[in-house]
Homo-oligomer: A and B are copies of this chain.
C-alpha cells in the first residue's frame, strides 16, 4: 500500500502540516513575527544549520508563506517577509505558544503578548464566530468527511457527545 502524502489527504490539518509541519519551519515563522527578515537573523535566532535554513526558506517562498524581496544590490541581498497567507499563521503560533506556556515551560512564560487595544497582557481565547462564546472540545460537534469512518461509539467522542 502506497502511503498517502499529507498534501493528498482530504484533511486541512494534514495539508497545513504539509506546509508548516516541520519543527524548524514553525520557528522560522515565529521569528518572522518577531521582526526577523534576513537570512542571518533567522540563522542567529534559531541556531538552525545554514543549508537546512536555506532549504526551508526556499520552500516557504514556493508555498507563498514568505515573499522574497531584494533590499540591497551589490552584493544582491534578499529579505523574507510574511505574506497574508503567512501572517494568518498567527493563530497557530499563538495556540502552540499558549499550550507550551501551560504544559511545557519551566516557570514564567518566556514571552507574552500585550493587547494594545486594551493595554493588558492577553491570553488568546478561541471563541465562536457566530455567538462569541468560547469553543471547547465539549461544546462542538464535528461534521464532515473525516468522521464517517469508523462510526464513533456513543459517548466515545468528546466532539459528538449528546448535549
Question: Which residue numbers of A lie inside 8 Å of B, CB to CB?
Answer: 1, 3-4, 6-7, 10-19, 21, 23, 26-27, 30, 33-37, 41, 44-45, 47, 49, 82, 85, 87-105, 109-118, 120-133, 135-137, 139-147, 149-150, 152-153, 156-160, 163
User: From residue A90, how far is it (CB to closest CB) to chain B in Å?
Assistant: 5
List, sorted by A's number, 28 A–B pairs whose CB atoms are closer than 8 Å.
A4-B47, A11-B111, A12-B98, A12-B99, A12-B111, A15-B100, A16-B103, A17-B23, A19-B103, A33-B137, A33-B158, A33-B159, A34-B142, A34-B157, A35-B157, A44-B150, A45-B150, A111-B145, A113-B143, A113-B159, A114-B142, A115-B130, A115-B140, A116-B139, A118-B130, A121-B130, A122-B128, A124-B127
